Amino acid sequence: MSHWNTALRVVSAATFTGSLAFAGVGAANAEPNTGNASDMNTLAASLSKGYGLNNCKPQELSETGELAELVCGQSPDSNGPGSGVYALFSSSTNLGSAFSSTIKDVSLAACGDAGASPGTWKQNGQTGGQIACGTYKNYATLTWTTDAKNVLGHLTAANSDVSALYQWWRTNG
């Protein structure tokens, strides 16, 4: 199982239990590769409203072309997601592969008025990237790419309401 899918499962479980716990990987004295400060700041600028470096934690990089990854807990917005995972990639090819891998175990559903999943989302009349909505282990999920920035985002709700998660994302990005 890939690190990215493992992170999503951990975040989904944390949504249910209300806490996050991460197991270490590698040598005891090895510093995890979490990317450089510039890439982390680039990724932080793409987080959904309410998330930032103050409430999201860098994660070890393990996916091909991954430059930075942040795992976020419950949104400060009481109507927001239970958790989020965001990643910055070096190329559109790596971004596309990560998107496909992330949604492979999701029971896909329509993203509100955006239509079937997976599909595309638009901003100011232009295609912004790919989007997929659905449920994973009875929790609503929304995964999207911001193609111009090579960023992948994944939100998990604390319930199974896909439509409410999609509406929150449309308002808060």
DSSP string over the chain? --HHHHHHHHHHHHHHHT-------S-TTPPP----HHHHHHHHTTSPTT--TTTEEE----STTEEEEEEE-S-SSTTS-SEEEEEEESSHHHHHHHHHHHHTTSEEE--GGG-SSSEEEEETTEEEEEEEEEEETTEEEEEEEEGGGTEEEEEE-SSS-HHHHHHHHHHH-
- Taking the C-alpha atoms of residue 87 and residue 77, their distance in angstroms, rounded to an integer, is 21
Pick 24 or 111 by higher pLDDT. 111
What are 57's two structure tokens?
């934690």
What is the structure's pLDDT at 134?
97
Which pLDDT score is estimated for 145?
97
Q: How far apart are CA 22 and CA 10, in angstroms?
A: 8
| pLDDT confidence tier of residue 23, bands split at 50, 70 and 90 | very low
Is the model's pTM score more than 0.75? yes
pLDDT at 105: 95
Alpha-carbon Rg for the chain in angstroms = 15
Quick one: pLDDT band at residue 161, thresholds 50, 70, 90?
A: very high
Backbone angles phi, psi at 122, to 5 degrees: -120, 150
Question: In Å, how far from its chain's centre is CA 127?
Answer: 19
Instruction: Give the chain's domains with CATH numbers.
Output: 3-16+32-172 (3.40.1000)
**Residue 33 pLDDT class (50, 70, 90 cuts):** confident
Banded pLDDT at 30 (limits 50, 70, 90)? low
Spatial CB neighbours of 120, under 8 Å, sequence gap ≥ 6:
127, 128, 129, 130, 131
Please determine, for residue 138, whether its predicted confidence score (pLDDT) is greater than 60. yes
Report which of 87, 86, 62, 61 is spatially closest to residue 72, judged by C-alpha positions.
86
Mean pLDDT of 128-155: 97
Task: Quote the pLDDT of residue 114.
Answer: 74
**What mean pLDDT do residues 122-141 have?**
94
Which residues does 41 contact at the CB level (< 8 Å), separation at least 6?
none
CA angle, corner 106, sides to 56 and 49, nearest 5?
30
Band of residue 20 on the pLDDT scale cut at 50, 70, 90 = very low
